[in-house]
Amino acid sequence: MGSRPRVSLPPEAPRSIALVVPCFKHAAYLPEMLESIVSQTRLPEEVIFVDDCSPDATGEILRTFIAEHSWPADGRCTLLVNDRNMGQAASLNRGVSAASSDLVMILNDDDYLMHDAIETMLGFFGRHRELALIGAQHIGFAGRDALAAASKTSNAHATTGLPLVVHRPDDVRNYPFVDQLDMTHSGLGFLKVAWEAVGGYQTDKSKRVTRFSDRDFQFRVGAMWPVAVAKGRPLAFWRNDSSVDGPLNS
């Protein structure tokens, strides 16, 4: 499954970050997700939405959001639209490919980022140059009331002893179960060079080590470089009542 990496990770800390958001059939949940982006304690340089030919009002909502929200002078907010439903893995690859930042973070369109998630992820990679990918846990929720009542800050960015559990390639390649590398897709951060080296998210389910493209990607990166999970420091709220996964959207 893995071998020694063909490329070296950059020695310098990433200075910019791109937030990639694959979108499909979750128009009703976009306002909360978008709120979590503009509420960040440190805005990302890039936000890249990928509308996977969604049959609802997703495209209209995202275009309105981009038009109504100014971005820092050195940043940009982009909407890419697939001309057909290609699935989440392909949408993610299109979004990551369009990013110019060295560091990429993922947010699913029905989830919600802790307000210090971007700042935290940049801090993680700034202190741990040997890691190619860092994930975290989540807080599950259902409904707007539960989300509104919850604290939106993890405080992980202010922690001096970052609680990372490191998984090394020799271990990952021998894990009997892929769930031993347990992290949430929303809030996941990785170096773009690692995404390139493993061929991105695998769109062909028959070639994955597990049926879900996010865990398959995490596992393949972990088989090449050290990766880590921030235990006890959730970086996202995960909506547990909204899945529209189908044959193409996982």
Q: What is the pLDDT of residues 118-129, one digit of tens each?
A: 999 999 999 999
Residue 221 belongs to a domain with what CATH number? 3.90.550.10
Is 245 among the domain residues? no
Please tell me the predicted confidence (pLDDT) of residue 7.
Answer: 80
Q: Which DSSP string corresponds to 120-189? A: HHHHHHHH-TT-SEEEE-EEEE-SHHHHHHS-----GGG-SS--EEEE-HHHHTT-SSGGGS---STT-E
Please report the pLDDT score of residue 2 as a whole number: 47
Structure tokens at 19: 């937030």
- What pLDDT, in 10s, does the model give residues 132-186? 999 999 999 988 888 888 888 887 665 555 679 999 999 999 999 888 999 999 9
How far CA 163 is from CA of 122, 135, 180, 188, 228, in Å, comes to 15, 11, 17, 15, 10
Among residues of the chain, what percentage have pLDDT more than 90?
78
* Confidence label for 70 from pLDDT (cuts 50, 70 and 90): confident
pLDDT band at 1 (very low <50, low <70, confident <90, very high): low
Taking residues 69-76, what's their average pLDDT?
Answer: 77
In a domain, 248, yes or no: no
pLDDT digits (tens, 9 = 90+) for 204-225: 999 999 989 999 999 999 999 9
DSSP H helical segments within the chain, as ranges? 30-38, 58-68, 88-98, 117-127, 144-149, 169-172, 192-197, 213-222
For residue 193, CA distances in Å to 59, 190, 221 come to 29, 9, 10
Residue 208 tokens, joined: 């994955």
Strand 236-239 versus strand 112-113 pairing type: antiparallel
Beta bridge partners of 141: 239
Q: Residue 36 domain-assigned? A: yes
Domain annotation covers residue 204: yes
Domain count across the chain: 1
Judge whether 80 lies within some domain: yes
**Quick check: 196 pLDDT over 80?**
yes
Q: Which domain holds residue 33?
A: 17-239
pLDDT at 21 exceeding the cut of 60: yes
Six-digit token pair at 26? 């979750």
Let me know if residue 130 belongs to a domain: yes
Number of neighbouring beta carbons within 10 Å of residue 88: 25
Residue 144: its pLDDT value, please? 86
Cβ pair 95, 61 in contact under 8 A: no
Identity of the residue numbered 153: T
Average pLDDT along the chain: 91
pTM of the model: 0.93
Lowest-pLDDT range, 11-20, 41-50, 136-145, 184-193?
Answer: 136-145
Asked, for residue 4, whether it belongs to a domain, the answer is no
Amino acid letter for position 107: L
pLDDT the model gives residue 245: 53
> Does 250 reside within a domain?
no
